Amino acid sequence: MKIKANGTLLELSEKGTPQEAAGALHLTEPQQAVAVTVNGVLRDFNTSLSDGDEVVFLNFDDPKGKEVFWHTSAHVLAQAILRLWPAALPTIGPPIENGFYYDFGNLTLSDQDFEKIEQEMAKVLSENYKPERIEFKNKQEALQTFSQNPFKRELIEGFEGGGISAYKQGEFLDLCRGPHMANLNKIKAFKILKTSGAYWKGDSNREMLTRIYAISFPDKKKLKEYLELLEEAKKRDHKALGTALDLYSFKEEAPGMPFIHPRGLIIWNRLLDFLREHLKAANYIEIKTPAMMSKELWERSGHWYHYKENMYLSLIEDREYAIKPMNCPGCMLFFRSATHSYRELPLRIAEIGHVHRFEASGALNGLFRVRSFHQDDAHLFMRPDQIQSEIQHLLQFADQIYSTFGLPYRLELSTRPEKSKTIGSDEEWDHATRGLKGALDNWGHSYRINEGDGAFYGPKIDIHIRDALGRHWQCGTVQLDMSLPEKFELSYVDHDGAHKRPIMLHRAIFGSIERFFGILVEHFAGKFPFWLSPYQVKILTIADRHVSFAREIASEIQKRGIICDIDDSNESMGKKVRNAQLLKVNYMLTIGDKEVENKTVALRTRDNIVHGEVDFLKFLSIVVKERDEKSLLSPFCTTEEKS
């Protein structure tokens, strides 16, 4: 039998499997061949191959490879738990962005139990089981197998169509669709990270389960690097830095609704000013729609039926209203308020709208998960022939924004879900998807295709930024919507006088501005580039006789629109420097007798690099240029730092 494996033609035995092909290619290292696709579909390594099949082996660095690696590891965790707590009830154990978790009923544990769980996992791995797939004949057989676990039985009862499978390793059997790794010996390092409570199926009215988070790797070095990354992430925690820098706070009187402090508002306003500069240059118009609108609007948009439990409702004069959870319906009303010609298209309408969504209190997380936030939404209306050019324009727009912050990104195209769960004709979906894909191809950046992961109303492009710690955040999105223009009966007058339905794109770049703010705090570790910094310059006086000159140069700095504070306290100079460094002040200017006499300043950067005496006006011209160019790197940093 001849197949193609990783682009190489191989001749296998009549009953050849991916495992045999991996051996022929010598993919034996722990990080290699952790998952496999056969003709584009993830499969187990003992799958029977046919002549002409195309096999691709996925390494640990591949996202799909990680998913299989971590899901297999979740079964190891569950097996260890049942050995230690036989009465525990396993529920689900999926891979997540970093590692995996497993939820258990009838289990109580604490951090003190982590070590013995890890020891038991090591025992399971030493036994080097080869996960075995079991196909049930029917639902009844599966129900009988898991008769003692009500959670598994509920999952089985909910399955519709298709086969039901489980995976067995040693004495452990778990309901699972797979696939898994060929054996467990590729798992060389693992760590239990934390435990928490979680409701069954995320429903607060259901059973409370114990969730165990963990992570695993094909070598110990990767685990060490990851744990070091976690320690660095703790130092960058935006909740702690927000307090230390006096940027924002959270109050019990308004859970999930952040208070932005004066210094935080400096950053906030600069982000919005920066965004609006780009909106103006790209010929957007900006609108503002009401925060609260009537039930009838939300019924028309569909939110009342599908999102009501996440909306804040109110009854006023016997009429029901809702605070908006999205900006889109308000923009639809604005578009309908006038007759539009094809000559106006594309029409780009932006709104930095304040929205509210009810999130469970346990899900709230600083600025990352809130109930009250602002979205930098835009809705673009166009003709069908303009889709590709508009997408390219949006990609350029996003690139300009993210590159200013030094944020690399990846692109993902999500295509049509199961046809029965979508609106629109085949022709409309094909045209829309071709438009998005064509724009991505022309853009020239690599992108990933998520088959069937689009919205019910259209395909979409998601933009995942990567921060300084290598974490990915989905902020930007471009979504083609065939639903709302139909529901709101939007139209434009075409060149032939006929009324036609416009194509509409949703787009966001920051996404939630609060969340983007938090991401930037952690990305920069509070050390913001000069143009964004809320603490740009601080003047430190050595004695009272130097205060007059300090005020004179502070005035000159402030005239240029630069934030400048004076520390003329009686603290020691060492304490003044330390206080400024704790606030991540970009530049500290020390004033003493020599500086007063020479009309100079002694410059120190926040990374404690002392430049000594510099000409004040020269310093001022350099930092004004640094601000105007929105430089990420200080012109006063060393050659070593620049490299």
| Phi and psi based region of residue 39 (left: phi greater than 0; alpha: psi -120 to 50; beta: remaining) | left
Please give the span between the terminal C-alpha atoms of the chain, in angstroms, as a whole number: 53
**Per-residue confidence band for 427, with pLDDT thresholds at 50, 70 and 90:** confident
The tens digit of pLDDT for each residue in 70-112 reads 999 999 999 999 999 999 999 999 999 899 999 999 999 999 9
Report d(CA 201, CA 233) in Å as an integer: 29
Are residues 185 and 128 in contact, defined by beta-carbon separation less than 8 angstroms? yes
Q: Closest by alpha carbon to 128, among 183, 71, 69?
A: 183
Are residues 436 and 199 in contact, defined by beta-carbon separation less than 8 angstroms? no
Percent of the chain with pLDDT over 70: 99
Are residues 181 and 68 in contact, defined by beta-carbon separation less than 8 angstroms? yes
3-state secondary structure of 352: strand
The tens digit of pLDDT for each residue in 588-605 reads 999 999 999 999 999 999
| Phi and psi based region of residue 384 (left: phi greater than 0; alpha: psi -120 to 50; beta: remaining) | alpha
The tens digit of pLDDT for each residue in 186-197 reads 999 999 999 999
Position 307 scores a pLDDT of 85
The tens digit of pLDDT for each residue in 489-528 reads 999 999 999 999 999 999 999 999 999 999 999 999 999 9
pLDDT at 640 exceeding the cut of 50: no
Position 448 scores a pLDDT of 85
- Catalytic positions are 328, 357, 375, 377, 379, 460, 506
Kindly report which listed range (156-160, 277-281, 567-571) carries the lowest average pLDDT score: 156-160
Write down all domains in the chain, each with its CATH number in brackets.
2-59 (3.10.20.30), 64-234 (3.30.980.10), 271-288+325-523 (3.30.930.10), 290-323 (no CATH), 537-642 (3.40.50.800)
The tens digit of pLDDT for each residue in 167-214 reads 999 999 999 999 999 999 999 999 999 999 999 998 888 999 999 999
**Chain Cα centroid distance, residue 124:** 34
The tens digit of pLDDT for each residue in 310-337 reads 999 999 999 999 999 999 999 999 999 9
Q: What is the dihedral of CA 40, 41, 44, 49, to 10 degrees?
A: -60
The predicted model scores a pTM of 0.85
Report d(CA 569, CA 34) in Å as an integer: 62
pLDDT at 142 exceeding the cut of 50: yes
3-state secondary structure of 332: helix
User: Residue range 328-350: average pLDDT?
Assistant: 95
pLDDT at 362 exceeding the cut of 80: no
**Chain Cα centroid distance, residue 145:** 39
Q: How many CA atoms lie within 13 A of 636 on its CB side?
A: 26
